[in-house]
Amino acid sequence: SRAAITVDRDFTVGPVPRRLFGSFVEHMGRCVYSGIFEPGHPAADENGYRTDVLELVNELGVSVVRYPGGNFVSGYDWEDGIGPVESRPRRLDGAWHTVETNAFGLHEFACWATKANVEIMEAVNLGTRGVDAARRLVEYANHPGGTYLSDLRKKNGAADPFGIKLWCLGNEMDGPWQIGHKTAHEYGRLAQEAGKAMRLVDPSIELVASGSSNRGMPTFGAWEQTVLEHTYDVVDYVSLHAYYEETGGDTASFLASGVDMDLFIEGVIATADAVRAKGRHRKHINLSFDEWNVWYQSTREGDDQPTTIEARGGWHEHPRIIEDEYDVTDAVVVGTLLNSLLRHGDRVAIANQAQLVNVIAPIRAEANGPAWRQSVFWPFARMSELARGEILRLSTTADRVETAKYGDADVVDASATWDEASGRIAFFLANRGLDEAADVTVTLRGLTAGRVTRAEVLHAPDGADRFATNNEQNQHRVRLAPLTDVATEHETLRVALPPLSWAV
Ligand code: AHR
Predicted complex ipTM? 0.99
Q: 46: Cβ–Cβ under 8 A, 6 or more apart, which residues? A: none
Q: 70 CA distance to ligand 1 centroid (A)? A: 5
Closest-CA residue, ligand 1 atom 5, reads 70
172 CA distance to ligand 1 middle (Å): 8
Q: Which of 96, 125, 172, 210 has most ligand 1 atoms within 8 Å of its beta carbon, as the pocket-test mutant?
A: 172
pLDDT at residue 303 in the model = 60
Q: Closest Cα to atom 6, ligand 1: which residue?
A: 70
User: Could you tell me the fold of the domain covering 392-503?
Assistant: Immunoglobulin-like (2.60.40)
Give the whole-angstrom CA distance, residue 195 versus residue 131: 8
Which atom of ligand 1 approaches the CA of 291 most closely? 1
CB-based burial, 222-243: b 16+ in 10 Å, e otherwise: ebbbbbbebbbebbbbbbbbbb
| DSSP string of 426-467, one letter each residue | EEEEEE--SS--EEEEEEEETS--------EEE-PPTT--TT
Q: Which residues contact 274 (CB under 8 A, 6 or more apart)?
A: 225
Alpha carbon nearest to ligand 1 atom 1, residue = 354
Helix (H) or strand (E) holding 348: strand 348-354
- φ, ψ for residue 433, nearest 5 deg: -75, 125
CB 346 within 8 A of CB 415: no
Q: How far apart are CA 259 and CA 14, in angstroms?
A: 21
Q: How far apart are CA 109 and CA 119, in angstroms?
A: 11
Residues with CB under 6 A from ligand 1: 26, 28, 69-71, 171-172, 291, 354-355
Domain boundaries, the chain: 17-388, 392-503
Q: Is 385 a catalytic residue?
A: no
Check if the beta carbon of residue 234 is closer than 8 Å to that of residue 192.
Answer: yes
290 CA → ligand 1 middle, Å: 10
Q: Whose CA is nearest to atom 7 of ligand 1?
A: 70
> What's the gap in Å between 1 CA and the centre of ligand 1?
37
Q: Distance, CA 71 to ligand 1 centroid (Å)? A: 6
Closest C-alpha to ligand 1, atom 3: 70
Given 38, 139, 291, 390, the catalytic residue:
291
Residue 299 is predicted with a pLDDT of 74
- Give pLDDT, residue 198: 98
Among 23, 171, 288, the mutation site with the greatest number of ligand 1 atoms within 8 A of its Cβ is 171
Ligand 1 atom nearest 243 alpha carbon? 4
- Active site annotation includes 291: yes
CA of 449 to the centre of ligand 1 (A): 43
Largest CA distance in the chain: 68
The residue type of 122 is E
Mutate to test the pocket of ligand 1, among 100, 121, 124, 291 (most ligand atoms within 8 A of CB): 291
Q: Which residues contact 59 (CB under 8 A, 6 or more apart)?
A: 381
Q: Whose CA is nearest to atom 8 of ligand 1?
A: 70
Pick the atom of ligand 1 nearest to 72's CA: 6
Q: Could you give the CA distance from residue 75 to residue 225 in angstroms, rounded to a whole number?
A: 26
Three-state DSSP class for residue 160: coil
Question: Quick one: which atom of ligand 1 is closest to the CA of 213?
Answer: 10
Phi–psi pair at 453, nearest 5 degrees: -85, -25
Ligand 1 nearest-atom number relative to CA 24: 1
Residue type, 331: A
State the pLDDT at residue 35: 98
What integer pLDDT is reported at residue 302 of this predicted model? 59
Query: pLDDT truncated to tens, each residue of the chain (504 aa)?
Result: 999 999 999 999 999 999 999 999 999 999 999 999 999 999 999 999 999 999 999 999 999 999 999 999 999 999 999 999 999 999 999 999 999 999 999 999 999 999 999 999 999 999 999 999 999 999 999 999 999 999 999 999 999 999 999 999 999 999 999 999 999 999 999 999 999 999 999 999 999 999 999 999 999 999 999 999 999 999 999 999 999 999 999 999 999 999 999 999 999 999 999 999 999 999 999 999 999 999 999 876 656 777 777 788 889 999 999 999 999 999 999 999 999 999 999 999 999 999 999 999 999 999 999 999 999 999 999 999 999 999 999 999 999 999 999 999 999 999 999 999 999 999 999 999 999 999 999 999 999 888 999 999 999 988 889 999 999 999 999 999 999 999 998 899 999 999 999 999
CA-293 nearest atom, ligand 1: 1
83: Cβ contacts below 8 Å, ≥ 6 apart: 156
Domain 17-388 belongs to what architecture?
Answer: Alpha-Beta Barrel (3.20)
Q: Where are the beta strands (DSSP E) in 236-334?
A: 237-244, 286-294, 316-317
What CA–CA distance (Å, rounded) separates 74 from 93?
A: 10
Cα of 112 vs its chain's centroid, Å: 18
How far, in Å, from the CA of 360 to the mean position of ligand 1? 10
For 79: left if phi > 0, alpha if psi spans -120 to 50, otherwise beta; the answer is alpha
Q: Whose CA is nearest to atom 9 of ligand 1?
A: 70
- Tell me the CA–centroid distance for residue 72 and ligand 1, in Å: 8
Q: Which amino acid is present at 439?
A: D
- Measured by CA distance, the residue closest to atom 2 of ligand 1 is 70
Q: Can you say whether the dihedral through the CA atoms of 267, 270, 273, 277 is positive or negative? A: negative
C-alpha 321 – ligand 1 centre gap (Å): 12
Considering 26, 38, 122, 172, which one is annotated as catalytic? 172
Q: Which residues of 90-121 are buried (b: 16+ CB within 10 A; e: fewer)?
A: eeebebbbbebbbbbbbbbbbebbeebebbbb
